[in-house]
Structures are given as C-alpha cells and as structure tokens.
Chains A and B, each alone.
Chain A
Amino acid sequence: MSKDIRIKKGLDIKLVGVAEKNTTNSTQSSVYAVKPEDFHGITPKLVAKEGAEVLAGDTLFYSKSDERILFPSPVSGKVTEVIRGARRKVLAVKIAADATQVYKDFGTKDAGKMSAEEVKNHLLASGCWPFVKQRPYDVVANPSQAPKAIFISAYASAPLAADLEYTLAGKEAELQAAITAVSKLTAGLVHVSIGADAISPLANLTGIEVHKVSGPHPSGNVGTQIAAIDPINKGEVVWVLTPQDLVVIGELLLTGKLNLSRTIALTGSHFSAPAYVTAISGATIADVTANNLKDDNTRIISGNVLSGKEVKAAEFLGYYDNQITAIPEGDDYEFFGWNKPVFNKISTSRALTFSWLTPKKKYDLNTNTNGEHRAFVVTGSYEEVFPLDIYPMQLLKAFMYKDLDEMEALGGYEVAPEDFALTEFVCVSKQPHQKIIREGLDLMREELG
C-alpha cells in the first residue's frame, strides 16, 4: 500500500545553473577535514592526535555524550592539524591524504542474516552511525532509542538539488543492502518517498513503503513527508537517512570498506560548467570545484542555497552534502531598489514584483537581503509556502521568547530548521527563521530531553 503525498503550499525556486548530467572525477585533495559542527549537538572527544596515521574508516573522534558514536576519517593519511576555536572547541580535524587510499576492513556482512543489535553495533563501530539522524531536534540519532519509523526522502525539490535519479543510478544493490539492514532498527515501517513521475532506483527495493511525492518545494524535505505520512507526537522518535548515505552503508556491508566518496552536484550561476563530480566527504572545496568557478565575488555554499553553509575555497565539503552552489554576492547598493518594479528577482507577492508573470523563468539571484531586518509585520505570507499543519509565525515567536510549553504545543517536535527555509526566504522582515528554530530546538532538547 503506498500513500501518495501531494503538496500544494510551497515554492519552487528556479535558479540558473542546473548541473549537467555528466560526472567527472575530481582530483584527490591533498587535505581533507572533518568538522564537528557538521554534526549538530555533538561534543567531540578526540581520538586521533596530531601526527597520527589513520586509515579510511579509522575513528577521529567520538561523541562525548555517547562513546559508541564514532566519527571516521574519510581518507587514509596523517592527521596534520586539529583546528580549535574559542574555549579550545574543535573546529576541524585535518588529514593529509595518502596518494593511494587504504581502507580499514570492517568485513563483509549479509544484512539479511543480521539481528537488530548486530546492525546497530556494526553501524556504530564502522562510523556510519552519524548518517542516522533523528527527529525531533534534527540531530544525530540516539542509538538507545527505538524509532517508530524510518524515513528516507529520495526526492529532491530544493533549488538546483542534485538529481537523485542520476546520482543513485546503478546503486540498487548497495541501497537494498542498506535498507535491509536499517529496517531492522525499527519496529515500524521504512518510508521511502520518490518523485511522482521519477524512475527512482529505490522504487523497486523490498522492505520499504514507497510514497510518490508531487508538488513544489518543500515536498522533498523529509520533514514535509513525515508530517504527511506519520506525524511525530510528543515522546516519539523517528529516524531519517538520506539515499546517498545509504549507498555508503550498503557499500560497507557488501565490501567491508567505508567509502565516503559521493557524487556532488556543482550548481549555480557562478560555475562556468555546472555538472557532477565525484569527491570524498571533507575534500577541499577548491579541489572539487577545480577551475570551474567564476571567482569574481562569489558565494560558495556547501549544500543548497536555502539551508547550506557558506564555505571559502580553502575550506571543506560538508560531511552530509551532495551539492556545492556558487552564486554571486549581492554586496552592492541598488538605487531605489525598494520601490522600482522588479523583474529579476523572485517574490511570492505581486508588489511591483513580476516573477508571477514568468513562473518558468530561471533566475540568477544574489545574496543581497533585499531589505533590512525588521520586526514581524506582514501576516499570511509564510502560510503560503509552509505545508505543515503548524502556525509558522506563532511557532517562530514561541521559539523566540522561549516558552517551552508553547514550543511543544505548537509543534516544536515536528520541525527542523530546513522546514523554515522557505518562510525565511519569503520573509518581508528578513528574520533568520532557521537560526531561531535551531536555537529553539537546542533549548527544547536540553530542557525536555
């Protein structure tokens, strides 16, 4: 039985710079880095000291709150530097990669014959556990909890998102092995969402509940799908995995190697040739983007334009990311920009903005805020792009004044920062919605558990 999901409220942001469907191998970087900040809410305890030799798959650090959760090195080589910030907080662990990669051998497994406990221990020991994230709170899952279901979104609706049909093609065996394994972790179902007219490599796997998704972004957000399929109630936990991470888990089971290389979409108007490359997680951005960037005043984003992180060319690819976006910086003034008719920017209103005339047009948006930060004034605009059965502005305000009862009652358990990316995009008052949600969720996690 498959339950289809039709999303009506939302907004497809069409941008210039869709990745062309050809994949090249990026040159191997000399330096890789794993950044604890990619794993929100984790306090790292270092294992690999500076100067240590590691294999791909060896532990670099583990979680202070749960020593079972290990974070592996994506490559083999030598730990050259641990970058620390204020109060000696670990910002990144840098590894100088060997010329030929040596993988730690975790042994091949037959997922079908493993017990739930064996699967869990194998994922923990091999450093694959960080791929399992949980809702509520959108953090790395707590292995001691039992999720009521597992959700996998194989439909990408974010702006310029990597086409999963393309990047996952031919990975059916790995995906099946991984799904067989992770499905043992829950007593409930494994929900997989695919595009309504896509021929997804996940469509014919066994042991899953397939949902066909249609409608504008955020229909591809797993939070939207959870809300439509089986919303989270107080006290419940669901786990979330991405298909590209399942491929890594599948390969681990089939070959015994932890191979963190993945297909990355280079997208956005500031790539001279937007296309796909393969790269290993944590690679230096400059090596992945290799000569492809138009480097004049560019914002490089690890991830998509709505919820990715800004990175510099010398910094590193995010652990979970399968997309790098490059768009122009908008650090210039615009004469009478607040009242003249606008044809080259996207808007959901029609306030002398004309994007409603050309719904198919692809825009080249820059990073200008198009206005200053203000208190909440306009009402009703968030609801147009927010498909969850939640009052977005009321929830945001509750998160701002930190009333835990209200945060809980209004749906705080059901949201993740990325669910508020579109409301942040359309916000007339230019409020930082995702930051508000992230900080509120951290508070809830601290106070309510």
Chain B
Amino acid sequence: MSLKGNLHNLKEKYKGTKMAPAFNAIHTFLYLPNEVTNAGGTHIKAADDLKRTMNIVIMALIPCLLFGMFNAGYQHYAAIDNSLRADVLANFFTFDNFWIGIIKVLPLVIVSYGVGLLVEFIFAVIKGHEVEEGYLVTGMLVPLIVPVDTPLWMLSVAVVFGVVIGKEVFGGTGMNILNPALTIRAFLFFAYPTWMSGDKVWVYDAVNRTGTADAISGETILGSYAQNQEVAYSTFDKFMGFIPGSVGETSTFLILVGAAILIFTKIGSWRIILSAFIGAAVMGIIFNQVIAAEIITESSKFYGLMSTVWWEHLTIGGLAFGAVFMATDPVTGSQTNKGKWIYGFLIGFISIMIRVFNPAYPEGVFLAILLMNVFAPTIDHYVVQGNVKKRLNRTKVKTA
C-alpha cells in the first residue's frame, strides 16, 4: 500500500486520541489534508494556507541565515587577522568560514527548532488543538537575532520561556500579544545581559579568549559609536553586512532581498516596512539637526550615535531586520492598514531614540517593537473608532 494510504489509515486510527494533533502535524507536513469545504459557506477555497504563508517567510530568511553562517567564520578569522578585511570578497565565501557557521550557527537553529517545537507539540497534545505553524517562523528568527556565542542551554531556557509565556498562555498562534521571537530575545537580554551586549559575544571565540594572549575584540558598530569611538568599516561593509552583530541581521542588502520577497508575495506588509524605515530616518534626521545646531557637543555621551548620519542608522544594528521580519508579524502588529503606517513609523522612530539615549545597550529595535506590540491594539482601536464615528455621523446627518 502506498504511503498516502498508510498515513490515511493511521490518521483514522488515531482520530480523537490525545496523540492525534502530534500525528496530524507530521501528516499535514507531508500531505495537504483531504478536508473538503462545509455544505454551507464557500465550496471552494483559495490556495493559501498558514503553512504556505509561513513557508514564504522562512524562504525569505534563508539568505540571511546562509550569509550569517559565512559571517560567523569571517568575523572570527578577521578578528584574529585584521588583514583579511582588506579584501572582503576574496576572504568571505570560504569553506573555513562556512564551517564555523556549521559548528556555531547550525546548533542554534537546531536547538531553537527542537526545543520550540517540542513545547508546541506538548501544548497541542495537552490542549487538544492542532500544532500551529507560527513556530516555524519563530524558530528560524531566534537563531538569527542572538549573538553567535550564545550558549545553547541559555537559548533553550529562553525558547521555553518565550513559547510558553509569550504565546501558549494566550492561546497559541494568533492570540499572542508579543512577538514570541522577540520575547525570547528580551528574556535573554534581561536574564543574561552580559551575554547579550558588550564587545565579546558577537564574534565566535572572543569570550573564551578573554584575558589570554590571543584575545580578540568583538565590538559591534553600535557599541563603538556608543562609546564615541571611530568605526573602521566602510559603508559598503555595513550595507552588505561584513560586520559583527547578531547572526543573521548584519546584511542590510539580504534583508532588503527578503523584504522584496515578502512584499511581492503579499505576505509581509509593505506599509509597516516602509513606514518603519521612514520613522527611523526621521528620528535620525532630527538627531543630526541637533548636532548641526551644536546643542550636543562632542563631550556628551550621546554624541557618537547622535552624530551618525541618518541613513547610516538604517544599515547598522538590527533596525532593518526588525522592520522587515519582526514588525511585520501580523498577529502582534497593527491589523488595520491605517494603523500599520502609525505602528511602523513609531517602531522606526523609537528604535533610533532608544539607540541614542541608551548607549550602554544601544540595540533598541527589539524593545521598540515589543513596546509597539503592546500599543498596536490601541492604535487599531482608534483607527476602527474612526470608521464607527463615520457611521454614526451618517445617521446624524439623516436625522438633523
């Protein structure tokens, strides 16, 4: 008998049992189910389902992941031998670099998916609902937004926390208030701050070598600016992503490729992406004007990041990654089209504000997005109230 037939028989056998959701999760992964539409309602349905939607996001993330794997090795070797930076293109796509990616980045991906999906399966079995697809994207996002040297046990703890507290307690995918991937990042940030900031964790092995003769630096660009230091990287390096940072967020170029995929497939909201960049640019320009007006001078601890040219803000740190892959989460973002403009704009605006005013931990994007996650329903409320008012006015005009 065929695989299809066997699986169908197994499905019928387990129907109604506790393990049915777990089995169905694997079954529907292989086969689109044989469900037909109800007798009432539409008899036909469009081709898209949640699995397909999530799959597109993962595909948009793959370039960032592959680049991050090369970059893990490149930053490691370049930190040891600075001369490698002289010819980036020749020294970047090497197998040695990729090997570091395999031994350092791939385990992050495996642990993220393994732990997260295990939690999802357990909850699905306990609560008797189907395993939802949301974690497919979260599981890919998480390894891309943590430093390469994050210990795996730490990641596991954070994933369990993020999935349980960030999502399952609210009722699963579609019900959560905060972006689960960012909840995981925030947990790591507040629980293990020394592993999430500073000048070591961003480059593989920098932590281990601290205090030895082979010590290497893993300072990020944001970190350097925050300490009013000069930054050696060229604009090209920053835009293409040949810089230290979290695993997958360094390459603004590939993030924009991902944005193009999301926007073209209509999976990601172009309104949020565009307005987030606009918001960040506006805040950057305001800060530049403050510098130009000489209100803030070089002695200030804000000078470094405030004097950074506004368009450079868009290419460094996690801003682009956050705007494209995190802010566009439809569940935690604004749901109305008008609301999306406001929501995206404020994310960009607040990100740069946190970045500048919090030089000790200059990465503000994830905090800005989490903050706006909380306010998204409020934004939507007022947008929808506008529609309600219009309806009420119509009645008033009639009766007046």
B388 at the interface (CB under 8 A from A): yes
Q: Tell me the smallest distance from the CB of B46 to a CB of chain A, in Å.
A: 5
Please indicate which of the listed interface residues B132, B266, B269, B392 has the most CB atoms of chain A within 10 Å of its own CB.
B266
Q: Please, how many angstroms separate the alpha-carbon atoms of A346 and B44 in the complex?
A: 10
A306 at the interface (CB under 8 A from B): yes
A296 at the interface (CB under 8 A from B): no
Q: Tell me the smallest distance from the CB of B305 to a CB of chain A, in Å.
A: 33
Q: Please, how many angstroms separate the alpha-carbon atoms of A328 and B337 in the complex?
A: 37
Q: Tell me the smallest distance from the CB of B23 to a CB of chain A, in Å.
A: 13
B46 proximity list for chain A (CB < 8 A): 345-348, 370, 425-428
Establish whether residues B387 and A350, one from each chain, have CB atoms under 8 Å apart when the complex forms: no
Q: Give the residue of A231, A330, A366, A374 whose beta carbon is less than 8 angstroms from that of B50.
A: A374
**B36 to chain A: closest residue by CB:** A367
A307 proximity list for chain B (CB < 8 A): 41-42
Q: Give the residue of A309, A334, A370 whose beta carbon is less than 8 angstroms from that of B40.
A: A309
Q: Give the residue of B36, B51, B387 whose beta carbon is less than 8 angstroms from that of A338.
A: B51
Interface residues of A in 353-405 (CB under 8 A from B): 353, 355, 365-381, 383, 389-391, 393-394
Mark contacts of A6-42 with chain B using CB atoms, 8 A cut-off: 1 yes-contact digit, 0 otherwise. Answer: 0000000100000000000000000000000000000
Q: Tell me the smallest distance from the CB of A405 to a CB of chain B, in Å.
A: 10
Q: Give the residue of B40, B44, B134, B264 whose beta carbon is less than 8 angstroms from that of A377.
A: B134
Establish whether residues B395 and A335, one from each chain, have CB atoms under 8 Å apart when the complex forms: no
**A336 to chain B: closest residue by CB:** B30
Chain B residue total in the interface (Cβ 8 A): 62
A349 proximity list for chain B (CB < 8 A): 48, 53, 265-267
Binds B, one of A45-53, A195-203, A209-217, A431-439: A431-439
Establish whether residues B390 and A389, one from each chain, have CB atoms under 8 Å apart when the complex forms: yes
Establish whether residues A430 and B8, one from each chain, have CB atoms under 8 Å apart when the complex forms: no
Establish whether residues A371 and B44, one from each chain, have CB atoms under 8 Å apart when the complex forms: no
Contact (A338, B52) CB under 8 Å given A233-B395, A365-B44, A432-B41: yes
A306 proximity list for chain B (CB < 8 A): 42-44
Q: Tell me the smallest distance from the CB of B161 to a CB of chain A, in Å.
A: 22
Binds A, one of B112-120, B185-193, B327-335, B351-359: B327-335
Please indicate which of the listed interface residues A234, A368, A428 has the most CB atoms of chain B within 10 Å of its own CB.
A428
Q: Tell me the smallest distance from the CB of A303 to a CB of chain B, in Å.
A: 9
Q: Please, how many angstroms separate the alpha-carbon atoms of A170 and B395 in the complex?
A: 41
A305 at the interface (CB under 8 A from B): yes
Beyond contacts A335-B30, A390-B387, A410-B384: 20 other A-B pairs, Cβ-Cβ < 8 A, are A305-B44, A306-B44, A325-B43, A329-B36, A350-B266, A353-B47, A366-B44, A367-B43, A374-B130, A378-B50, A379-B269, A381-B266, A389-B387, A409-B391, A411-B391, A425-B42, A428-B49, A432-B38, A432-B41, A435-B41
Q: Point out residues on A near B: beta carbons under 8 Å.
A: 13, 231, 233-235, 299, 301, 305-310, 325, 327, 329-339, 342, 345-353, 355, 365-381, 383, 389-391, 393-394, 409-411, 421, 424-430, 432-435
